[in-house]
Amino acid sequence: MKKTYLLAPGPTPVPETVNLEMAAPMVHHRTPQFSKIFGEAAEDAKYLFQTKQDVLILASTGTGGMESCITNLFSPGDKVLVVNGGKFGERWGKISESYGLEPIWINVEWGQAVDVNEVKAALDKDKDIRAILVQASETSTAVAHPVEALSKLTRDRDDILLVVDGITGVGVFPLPMDEWGIDAIVTGSQKALELPPGLALVALSEKAWKFADQSKCPHFYFDLKKERKNLGNQTSAYTPAVSLVKGLRAVLKSIKEEGLENVHKRHNRLARATRAAAKALGLKVIAPDSPADSLTGVFVPDGIDGAKIVKSLRDEFGVTLAGGQDQWKGKIIRIAHLGYVDTFDTIVAIAAIEMALKKFGHAVEMGKGVAAAQEILLEAY
Amino acid sequence: MKKTYLLAPGPTPVPETVNLEMAAPMVHHRTPQFSKIFGEAAEDAKYLFQTKQDVLILASTGTGGMESCITNLFSPGDKVLVVNGGKFGERWGKISESYGLEPIWINVEWGQAVDVNEVKAALDKDKDIRAILVQASETSTAVAHPVEALSKLTRDRDDILLVVDGITGVGVFPLPMDEWGIDAIVTGSQKALELPPGLALVALSEKAWKFADQSKCPHFYFDLKKERKNLGNQTSAYTPAVSLVKGLRAVLKSIKEEGLENVHKRHNRLARATRAAAKALGLKVIAPDSPADSLTGVFVPDGIDGAKIVKSLRDEFGVTLAGGQDQWKGKIIRIAHLGYVDTFDTIVAIAAIEMALKKFGHAVEMGKGVAAAQEILLEAY
């Protein structure tokens, strides 16, 4: 017998009740029965996004949602400022290049948040920049970029948009779209939304919709104007991913019931507990000044191969965490706090890391990280 | 109490066992465990497609798969011949226009299959045409286009592709990709594959992969070369729709077990039974010479509003069929034979149509259509 635990930064565990919703008999998508489901999901998504704007539901993963922002808001030749501090920042730039935009790269050292002054200087230097493209939470490095501060650079100008990849941000920590003046924000189903991968959610500000009227990038499947029109009839432009939308409605209802503020607090509590545990174990936390509450990244001790630890945790201990990507391959462990993960999942992850480190010959005092985490996790009880 | 029955041309019912597969605990997508699942699904998909080529699995609905063929195979300015005999034929043209291709429309009267001689004449007249874009089964009209005959126009030329929307064709009737020389073929999960919507499957011929090397249409999310490269590692370029891929593996195993030939026979038997029932009831079948085995379309009797019949069937009888779209709104009923639908589902649909027609004042001899269907359905026992 081996029980398994999933604390990777997506896909995240799916609640049993949501699985039951998704396994209910299939319904046809062009019926009043399904329109009601779709309409309720889209309505409750506004609560999640903290916006009065429509939230569009696309049958794709988050990258498709990111692409929809590029192809629906901009035109070939447009200059866009790309905050590149990890794999997903890089992705903004690559999508932009694919459609003939002109990315202006702000390269940020991995593990650091972008310096707002550097962004400001770039915008001051070139008034033709039409967007800041940024991650709320750069999943590859476990860093949160300062979205609120960036929004102050764009919100009072009508010729530039703040476009936020909120894939591991929305439903994790505050990103009040309307209050901050975020112009476009994307999330995906397999993160804080506790669903399998396969849905992207996208919302645009009034300013962004004006950009959409001018955009000349080609697109067909990802057509946000067409989606908005169809949303008026509580449906999507093409066949929606019916079972995932059913699950989305269920999850959004549970998020509303818990209260978004409490959802944020929960993620923050798990993140703080994990950081405290790392500290107690003498593990260096990535980005201690700008950590994302979606996941905690820690450097593995010198002389230990992080990839082997992650593999052992998964295959021997049954605990799936994430390792590092690209330049951080084998160097870090990432522990997610996203979605359907709570106190004792987090304790399991920390205990397993302690045990794996000991197994790999690192001097660890068993239970020391767990104890540090418990002190913080107790807040919830 | 009201039991419900779903016989619409997608989404189709999902087998209970497949729902259980999809509801199993979420697994991380970058693990050997999931790679095995993804790899097996992709391998068994070759059997379904009757090809030695890779079958790529995309997290989108069928329309995304169609778009991937346009943007990965062609370039702005390319002439493509569009067989437009219904809503989905029209979609090929619209996608092509969105990306700056030059569609040459062959407009086919709704309810008719395309005339191969007309296509041949168009190709003879203009040697610059780079593709025939066609539906194997035009779902809006219940017509099968003559894919095999069309393949004879393209297979011996290396400057033109046959691109087939097999969304309601693959797994329904024979479309042997390699044998006929189909260059690109797409299907979606919510049809013969018995899954919820959210996956598109795409395969390309060697000739099509050469076109892909020349293509200049922009794309990022739908990047077939990148997908093929990742398939070598039993994964997809971006996060796969994990639960649907699990379901896909299960369904493909059951299709292999039943045998593709038997799967085709099953669809054909249900289609013939339904056509016989319609005839017995004096209902005119659409396209008697080129019906698709994916669904049967019948014209509603004069003086009866087809939309009201379909609504009554759904809301009162609990039987979801499809009505007509666009020019056929209110004029036809479409009964699907796709996927997880068998003898007694089909009898239910026919019996319900008889009862609804009687309720709406049409003179119907109860059971006459059912009896005609039974004679054919009995073949399976």
Per-residue model confidence as pLDDT tens digits over A72-98: 999 999 999 999 999 999 999 999 999
Q: Compare CB distances from B239 to A13, A190, A314 and report the shortest one's residue.
A: A190
Say if the Cβ atoms of A11 and B19 lie within 8 Å. no
User: Which of the four CATH numbers 3.40.50.2300, 2.30.110.10, 3.40.640.10, 2.40.110.10 does domain B16-258 have?
Assistant: 3.40.640.10
Say if the Cβ atoms of B23 and A28 lie within 8 Å. no
How do the residues of chain B divide into helix, strand and coil, expressed in percent and rounded to 5? 45, 15, 40
Closest-CA residue to B270 (of B291, B252, B300): B291
Q: A101 and A80 in contact (C-beta within 8 Å)?
A: yes
Residues of chain B numbered 72-131 and touching chain A (CB < 8 Å): 94-95, 98-100
Distance from CA of A62 to the nearest CA of B (A): 8
Question: Residue A303: enclosing H or E segment and its boundaries?
Answer: none
Chain B touched by A62 (CB under 8 Å): yes
- The mean pLDDT of chain B is 97
In the predicted structure, residue B250 carries a pLDDT above the cut 90: yes
Other C-beta atoms within 10 Å of A271: how many?
24
Chain A touched by B17 (CB under 8 Å): no
Residues of B in contact with A31 (CB under 8 A): 314, 320
Best of B6, B7, B16, B26 to mutate (most A CBs within 10 Å, chain A)? B26
Q: Compare CB distances from B197 to A67, A98, A241 and report the shortest one's residue.
A: A241
Chain B touched by A59 (CB under 8 Å): yes
Say if the Cβ atoms of A190 and B25 lie within 8 Å. no
In the predicted structure, residue B1 carries a pLDDT above the cut 90: no
Distance from CA of A221 to the nearest CA of B (A): 6
Q: B158 and B207 in contact (C-beta within 8 Å)?
A: yes
How much is the average pLDDT of A106-134? Answer: 98
Q: Compare CB distances from A60 to B28, B29, B64 and report the shortest one's residue.
A: B64
Residues of A in contact with B239 (CB under 8 A): 10-11, 61-63, 188, 190, 197
The hierarchical CATH code for the domain A5-11+259-380 is 3.90.1150.10
Distance from CA of B185 to the nearest CA of A (A): 17
Residues of chain B numbered 121-180 and touching chain A (CB < 8 Å): none
Round to whole Å and give the CA distance between B212 and B70.
10
Q: Return the domain boundaries, chain B.
A: 5-11+259-380, 16-258
Say if the Cβ atoms of B239 and A63 lie within 8 Å. yes
In the predicted structure, residue A259 carries a pLDDT above the cut 90: yes
In the predicted structure, residue B2 carries a pLDDT above the cut 90: no
Total residues belonging to chain A: 381
Closest-CA residue to A26 (of A277, A273, A328, A240): A240
- The mean pLDDT of chain A is 97
Residues of chain A numbered 235-254 and touching chain B (CB < 8 Å): 238-244
Say if the Cβ atoms of A239 and B31 lie within 8 Å. no
Closest-CA residue to A18 (of A191, A241, A247): A247
In the predicted structure, residue A1 carries a pLDDT above the cut 90: no
Give the pLDDT band (50/70/90) at residue B92. very high
Tens of pLDDT, residues B167-188 = 999 999 999 999 999 999 999 9
Residues of A in contact with B319 (CB under 8 A): none
For residue A58, give the chain B residue with the closest CA: B60
Query: How many CA atoms lie less than 13 Å away from B133 in the CB half-sphere?
Result: 32
pLDDT at B5: 96
Tens of pLDDT, residues A301-327 = 999 999 999 999 999 999 999 999 999
pLDDT at B283: 98
Round to whole Å and give the CA distance between B32 and B235.
10
Tens of pLDDT, residues A226-253 = 999 999 999 999 999 999 999 999 999 9
pLDDT at B211: 98
pLDDT at A2: 84
Strand order, beta sheet including B79-84: B55-58, B200-204, B184-188, B161-165, B129-135, B79-84, B102-107
Best of B221, B246, B248, B310 to mutate (most A CBs within 10 Å, chain A)? B221
Residue A204 phi, psi (nearest 5) = -125, 145
Say if the Cβ atoms of B242 and A99 lie within 8 Å. no
Tokens of B366: 């109860």
Bond into B146 cis (ω within 30):
no
Residues of chain B numbered 196-215 and touching chain A (CB < 8 Å): 196-198
ipTM of the complex: 0.94
pLDDT at B249: 98
Contacts of B38 (CB under 8 A, 6+ apart): B29, B57, B234, B235, B236, B240, B245
Round to whole Å and give the CA distance between B171 and B204.
17
Say if the Cβ atoms of B241 and A196 lie within 8 Å. yes
Residues of chain B numbered 23-52 and touching chain A (CB < 8 Å): 23, 25-31
